[in-house]
Amino acid sequence: MRAGRLIVFTGPSGVGKGTLLASLRQLHPELFVSVSATTRSPRPGEIHGQHYYFVSREEFERMVAQGELLEWAEFAGNYYGTPRKAVERHIQEGHWVVLEIELEGARQVRRSFPDALQIFILPPSLEALEQRIRQRGQDSEAAIAKRLARAKEEVAAADEFDIQIVNDDLTQALQALEAALFEPVPC
């Protein structure tokens, strides 16, 4: 059986993490993407248990208190976190598990899983990131301002990660991501 592996996938909101990860999974369906819990409301088309586990603040706080989350953070007024048991089970079964999480969560995971491969997705520029967030049309001006301020902090922390990939061109970013995951490291 091949060894399990934890891959932490981080970058600012709107950088295209979800699009990159979906493209990667089409090419490599054997990758298991962990489903996070959140207190935010579902967006149109999101399905409980597939995109997120949508839970109340009270349920989330109970999960934190009982140590059921590998990592968690509050972002834009909502909690997000990764249920611990499913991730550990999949790794023990030899699967490669991808966590698509934000910076503080990645830092928490680094303490529990120091051998995890940590990948940071960068925007080509903060201006391009702002344009992407606005084009989604999902956020108020206040939420956009908050996301952009947070993005500046996150981009400044990119050097904490094993690998940084700029998502300027989806095809090139996907190729860089595949190389980081699947090409052997020269001795």
pLDDT at 185: 58
Residue whose structure tokens are 């595949």: 178
Query: What distance, in Å, lies between the first and last C-alpha atoms of the chain?
Result: 24
pLDDT at 146: 86
Q: What burial letters (b/e) apply to 82-120, b meaning 16+ CB within 10 Å?
A: bbbeebbebbeeebbbbbbbbbbbbbbbbeebeebbbbb
State which residues of the chain have pLDDT below 50: none
pLDDT at 1: 55
Distance CA 96, CA 121 (A): 19
Angstrom distances, CA of residue 28 to CA of 2, 25, 32, 97, 170: 15, 5, 9, 12, 16
What pLDDT, in 10s, does the model give residues 63-101?
999 999 999 988 778 999 999 998 999 999 999 999 998
Domains of the chain: 5-182 (3.40.50.300)
